[in-house]
Amino acid sequence: MARSRRQLPEAVAAAAHTIPAAVADRIRLVVLDVDGVLTDAGVYLGRTGTGEQVELKRFDIQDGLGMKLLEEDGVRVILISGRVSPATAVRAEELGIEYHQDAGARKLAILQTILEREGIDWSETAMLADDLPDLAIFRRMGLKCAVANAQPEILDEADWVSERRGGHGAVRELSRTLLSARGAWERIVEDYVTRTSEMIDTSEVR
């Protein structure tokens, strides 16, 4: 039987789009689904003149920086997808983010191995999800987050729900909310501004 969100204290935070500080402080790892979270779930397929299949996906640039800002505060970010896609690999490698793709959608086994490797407990994990293939690991998360247009089964389990849809800044929204709850957002942003300003000054001198 599905549990009623109205009976859960976390439902108050989810409705207000906030994350309790005590919860945010313990998060060491953020797991992101790809299709429907980092993308709008659309896949553009075609073939080249030689018959080679081409696949394109749309990623939100602001989400990318959001992931990097989380890592600036010592929060690991990992992408786990149940669909093997060259586009996902290109985006993850561009960002320098660890990623795993498994056509069998064995996300639970993949993540269990990662947690054991890193010495991280399930209570120290968060996930942003959207659809049924995420549900098995989603239920184990210390902080369960859903994009605004997630499927009902995910929304029913979620502790926090974004205002933005998947592929349209939901990851950046989670990054800002989580870092703000940890009291780190302003510091991280100022560090980023300082660092990029120094890069500009250096390039001008050269």
What pTM did the predictor assign? 0.86
φ, ψ for residue 135 (rounded to 5)?
-60, -40
Tell me: pLDDT of 187 over 90.
Answer: yes
Quote the Cα angle for 101-74-127, to 5°: 45
Q: What is the mean pLDDT of the chain?
A: 89
pLDDT above 70 coverage of the chain, percent: 88
Distance, CA of 17 to chain centre: 16
DSSP 107-126: HHHHHHHHHHHHT--GGGEE
C-alpha distance from residue 151 to each of 50, 55, 131, 167, 177 (Å) = 38, 24, 5, 15, 22
- Sequence-separated (6 or more) residues with CB below 8 Å from residue 113: none
Mean pLDDT of 93-112: 90
- CATH 3.40.50.2020 for domain 21-205: no
Domain locations along the chain = 21-205
pLDDT tens digits for range 50-70:
888 888 999 999 999 999 999
pLDDT of the residue at 53? 84
- pLDDT per residue over 123-168, tens digit each? 999 999 999 999 999 999 999 999 999 999 999 999 999 999 999 9
CB proximity list for 12: less than 8 A, separation 6 or greater: none
Please tell me the predicted confidence (pLDDT) of residue 124.
Answer: 97
